[in-house]
């Protein structure tokens, strides 16, 4: 048998809303699930390499908004996150992470540099390292900028639309960026902040919002349009880090109405921005529950399609009671190739 193949035996599993299991087994190859999901323990072949997990196994958990140049990704993985979406870092930072030991880091999807208007956000911010943003001056330059990010390995394109902090793209330039990205098979994710930027993103064909809008109440008709055309990344906890603030209430209200219209939200924290815990953030989880999502909904927001990633597990079992769910999920760990505390041996 291929030494890269093994089976995890768990007390329980959550593998999507409506797919909950008692004692079950999950086949891994090279550390990622090799099948559609858990099966009965009796399906494990004789002589297979088996490890026992004394808790609940989950698909790999994702943080859809991280700045890898501002955090220690080893701590992020140790905190239960199997995949991160880097939403703006210098190419050199991303290359350094790609050369690191993959067993110590979460899987990473990247957008490359922020694309921004001349003199626009985040060019004036101390945290924006050289190479983490790229000014775009015209529709023709838009095609070049998208091509540069794609050549550097970007799997999506990020645009900065912050009218509170400087100029934003004219509509013609933003439309050209979106068109070039879509022609290359890449989605466009937008940072929207300030008056009218959410509408500009929607009307220009942006696919994702990097944050739930928080600087203004988005009108109901626009929310309905956005629910049909975009995915939002949550990032609610950055508006107070546990404190109740006007910005948090505005964002929560916008997200609640977006979800009521059938919109899709991805769990994301903007990790690197302020005092956010690495790994699963129980405050972000609790904030999502406060919008009306169920624990199953929150878990769905934390996993996603794409290449398989290592699964996660919650020692002692996941508590899905809403009042205890966030604290329980914060104990999640990524299943490593060798995980301390796991017994290895034949199935008994």
pLDDT in tens, 43-55: 999 999 999 998 9
Which residue spans within 59-202 are E strands per DSSP?
Answer: 62-66, 83-86, 107-110, 114-116, 133-135, 156-162, 187-193
Average pLDDT over residues 272-279: 96
Q: Which helix (H) or strand (E) holds 8?
A: strand 5-14
pLDDT tops 60 at residue 290: yes
pLDDT tops 70 at residue 3: no
Q: What is the Cα–Cα distance from 280 to 84, expressed in whole angstroms?
A: 11
Comparing CA positions, the residue from 96, 162, 167 lying closest to residue 131 is 96
Q: What is the pTM of this model?
A: 0.93
Q: What is the Cα–Cα distance from 219 to 299, expressed in whole angstroms?
A: 28
**Kind of pairing between the strands at 24-29 and 32-33:** antiparallel
Q: What is the Cα–Cα distance from 241 to 223, expressed in whole angstroms?
A: 25
The pLDDT assigned to 89 comes to 86
Query: Which residues, in sequence order, are CB contacts of 63 under 8 Å at separation 6+?
Result: 76, 81, 83, 84, 85, 106, 267, 268, 269, 271
**CA of 102: how far to CAs of 31, 42, 97, 98, 106, in Å?**
11, 32, 9, 8, 7
Please give the mean pLDDT across all residues of the chain.
92
The pLDDT assigned to 140 comes to 96
pLDDT tops 50 at residue 343: no
The pLDDT assigned to 341 comes to 39
pLDDT over 90, % of the chain: 84
Residues 218-239: b if buried by 16+ CB within 10 A, e if exposed: beeeebbbbbeebbbbbbbbbb
The pair of structure tokens assigned to 42 is 């009796």
Average pLDDT over residues 181-198: 97
**Cβ-based neighbour number of residue 201 at 10 Å:** 28
pLDDT tops 50 at residue 347: no
pLDDT in tens, 96-127: 777 777 788 999 999 999 999 999 999 989 88
Q: Which helix (H) or strand (E) holds 181?
A: helix 171-183
Phi first, then psi, for residue 315 (nearest 5°) are: -60, 135
The pLDDT assigned to 2 comes to 45
138 torsion bin: left (phi>0), alpha (psi -120 to 50), beta (else): beta
Which region among 97-111, 150-164, 268-282 has the lowest average model confidence (pLDDT)?
A: 97-111
Which region among 61-70, 131-140, 234-243, 301-310 has the lowest average model confidence (pLDDT)?
A: 301-310
The pLDDT assigned to 325 comes to 98
Average pLDDT over residues 61-81: 95
Longest pairwise C-alpha distance within the chain: 66
Start-to-end Cα distance in the chain:
19
Average pLDDT over residues 286-304: 96
Comparing CA positions, the residue from 138, 162, 151 lying closest to residue 213 is 162
Residues facing 344 on adjacent strands? 51
The pLDDT assigned to 248 comes to 98
Read off the DSSP letter of residue 15: -
Exposed, middle or buried, 77 (CB in 10 Å: 0-12/13-18/19+)?
buried
């Amino acid at each position: 048998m291929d030494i890269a193949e093994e089976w995890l035996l768990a007390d329980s599993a959550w593998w999507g809303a409506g797919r909950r299991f008692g004692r079950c087994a999950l086949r891994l190859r090279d550390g990622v699930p090799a099948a559609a999901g858990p099966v009965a323990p009796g399906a494990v072949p004789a002589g297979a390499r088996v490890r026992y997990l004394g808790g609940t196994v989950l698909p790999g958990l994702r943080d859809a908004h991280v700045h890898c140049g501002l955090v220690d990704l080893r701590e992020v993985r140790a905190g239960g996150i199997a995949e991160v979406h880097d939403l703006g870092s210098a190419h050199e930072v991303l290359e350094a992470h790609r050369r690191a030991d993959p067993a110590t880091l979460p899987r990473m999807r990247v957008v490359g540099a922020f694309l921004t208007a001349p003199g626009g956000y985040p060019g004036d911010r101390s945290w924006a390292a050289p190479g983490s943003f790229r000014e775009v001056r015209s529709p023709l330059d838009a095609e070049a900028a998208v091509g540069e990010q794609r050549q550097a390995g970007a799997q999506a394109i990020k645009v900065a639309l912050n009218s509170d902090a400087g100029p934003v793209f004219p509509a013609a330039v933003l439309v050209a960026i979106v068109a070039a990205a879509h022609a290359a098979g890449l989605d466009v994710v937008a940072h929207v902040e300030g008056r009218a930027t959410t509408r500009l993103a929607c009307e220009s064909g942006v696919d994702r919002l990097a944050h739930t809008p928080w600087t203004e109440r988005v009108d109901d008709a626009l929310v309905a349009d956005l629910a049909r055309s975009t995915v939002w990344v949550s990032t609610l906890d950055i508006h107070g880090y546990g404190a109740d603030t006007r910005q948090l209430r505005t964002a929560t209200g916008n997200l609640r109405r977006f979800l009521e219209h059938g919109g899709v939200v991805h769990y994301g924290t903007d990790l690197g921005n302020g005092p956010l815990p690495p790994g699963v953030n129980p405050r972000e989880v609790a904030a999502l529950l406060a919008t009306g999502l169920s624990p199953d909904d929150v878990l769905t927001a934390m996993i996603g399609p794409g290449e398989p990633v290592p699964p996660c597990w919650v020692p002692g079992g996941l508590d899905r009671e809403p009042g205890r769910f966030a604290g329980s999920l914060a104990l999640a760990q990524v299943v490593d190739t060798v995980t301390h505390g796991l017994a290895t041996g034949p199935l008994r």
